[in-house]
Amino acid sequence: MGRVVHKIVSLFAVLFSCAALADSGEFDMSRWTRVMDDIRARAAAQNISESTINDTLRSPAFIPSIVKSDKNQSEFKLTLDDYLKRTVNSKRIARGHQMKSKYPTLLSRVENTYGLPSNVILAFWGMESNYGEVKARHRLVDAFFTLIYDGRREKFFSEQLLALMKIADKNSLDINRIRGSWAGAMGHFQFIPTTLASYGVDGNNDGRIDIIDSVGDAMASAGNYLNKLGWNKAERITRRVILPADFDTSMLDGKTKKTLNEWARMGVLNPDGTAIPHGEMVAGLVADVANLPEPVEDMDADIAPQPVITAYLTYPNFYRIKKWNNSNWYAIAISELADKLK
């Protein structure tokens, strides 16, 4: 009887939340019911408690704007310089220094336990949620049911919802109060549920993991994740460099790896024209290839071309950041922000 009541309440919630779709005949109620039935069956098979299952299925709402967001993700068009101006700005830097002063003990604990320097953790925190200031918009139950129903990545979002149910179960959390982005990321460091399930840590020793309301849990979880990705605190992330005007730009996407000695022989220099450090350490090169200055053609063969291309040597930590967020611009921004927060 309880399941019937929950299903009826849920169906009314759906009808209420997407009346326009229902009126136009676009919303498939039978599919929505099948999605809920499938989640119930899979959750039960994975030993998720009946109370959590019932809570999850009590009143999920279909949110049309989430489908629109998923289908209309804008192509990344900012230049690297514009992206850095937007992400590594004076307000974010100042706020990062404030957080460094506010949480010295917690930051030291994360560094001692996971090998993540405070400036690196702060850079991720600033980039992901502006140090917790970005407010979550959606109940994650609603977001995941909407995206599962939509079907574009049904398997992925079903796994996220089931992982969230397990997290709520294990940590005695009210699943209907867990909020996040339309795509399912949550908390200070914007973890998706499967990432949280794998790397979440009880940083404040209260017996549960809560990365939304506990800064200690959030920082420890981020430190643990980056540690497991292989973070090396003895190495830098990037080095800003300049290249000859005739440099082969096909090598500037970060995928071509060479030793520092090899890059030096190819004319890679520090911005002031001095030699980069030599050695056998392997690095890539990244530049904003779409927005490079036009090379100046010098008719005098005796005059060497001036190094006019600005780029970044990308060290192993750079590629560990890309396992967190697979964007060259994001990884460079983390590096730049971390340098400002030392």
Given a contact cutoff of 8 angstroms between Cβ atoms, the answer to whether 122 and 104 are in contact is no
pLDDT at 140: 97
Looking at residue 30, its pLDDT comes to 94
Q: Which of 273, 267, 221, 261 is nearest to 246 (CA)?
A: 267
Nearest to 14 by CA among 44, 31, 177, 3: 31
Mean pLDDT of the chain: 90
Q: Record the pTM.
A: 0.88
Collect all residues with Cβ–Cβ distance below 8 Å to 87 and sequence separation of at least 6.
127, 333, 337
Higher pLDDT, 21 or 100: 100
User: What is the reported pLDDT for 26?
Assistant: 78
Helix, strand, coil percent values for the chain (each to nearest 5): 55, 10, 35
Q: Report percent pLDDT > 70 for the chain.
A: 87
Q: Residue 76: pLDDT above 80?
A: no
pLDDT greater than 80 at residue 193: yes
Mean pLDDT across the stretch 28-37?
95
pLDDT of residue 300: 56
Residue 243 has pLDDT above 80, yes or no: yes
Hey, CA dihedral for 258, 262, 264, 266, is it positive or negative? Answer: negative
Q: What are phi and psi of 222, to 5 degrees?
A: -65, -45
Predicted confidence at residue 17, as pLDDT, reads 47
Question: pLDDT tens-digit profile of 161-182?
Answer: 999 999 999 999 999 999 999 9
Q: In the prediction, which pLDDT does 75 show?
A: 52
Instruction: Say which residue, 3 or 240, is predicted with more confidence.
Output: 240
DSSP codes of every residue in 222-259: HHHHHHHTT--TTS-SEEEEEEETT--GGG-BS---EE
**CA 262, CA 212: separation in Å to the nearest integer?**
45
Which has the closest alpha carbon to 321: 338, 340, 302, 301? 338
Q: How confident is the model at residue 71 (pLDDT cuts 50, 70, 90)?
A: confident
CA dist 213 and 215 (Å) reads 7
- List, in sequence order, the alpha helices (H) in 72-204: 80-87, 90-102, 104-114, 118-129, 140-150, 154-171, 193-199
pLDDT higher than 70, residue 100 = yes
Bridge-partner residues for 311, per DSSP? 241
Q: Name residue, tokens 């294990």.
A: 170
Place of tokens 């079907």: 151
Please give the Cα distance from 324 to 91 (Å, whole number).
24
β-bridge partners, 242: 269, 310
- Does 24 score more than 50 pLDDT? no
Determine the pLDDT at residue 134: 86
What is the pLDDT at residue 135? 78
| pLDDT interval class at 118 (50, 70, 90) | very high
Burial category of 86 from C-beta neighbours within 10 Å (exposed 0-12, middle 13-18, buried 19 and up): exposed
- At residue 136 the predicted structure's pLDDT band, cuts being 50, 70 and 90, is confident
Asked if pLDDT for residue 83 goes beyond 60, the answer is yes
| Higher per-residue pLDDT: 136 or 249 | 249
Domain ranges for the chain: 1-62+139-171, 238-314
Q: Model confidence over 288-334: pLDDT tens digits?
A: 998 887 656 655 555 555 557 999 999 999 999 999 999 999 999 99
Instruction: Name the band, by pLDDT with cuts 50, 70 and 90, for residue 261.
Output: very high
**Banded model confidence at residue 5, pLDDT cuts 50, 70, 90:** very low
Beta strands at 179-180 and 282-286: parallel, antiparallel or unpaired:
unpaired
Q: Are 186 and 212 in contact (CB under 8 A)?
A: yes
Taking a C-beta distance cutoff of 8 angstroms, is the pair 302, 222 a contact? no
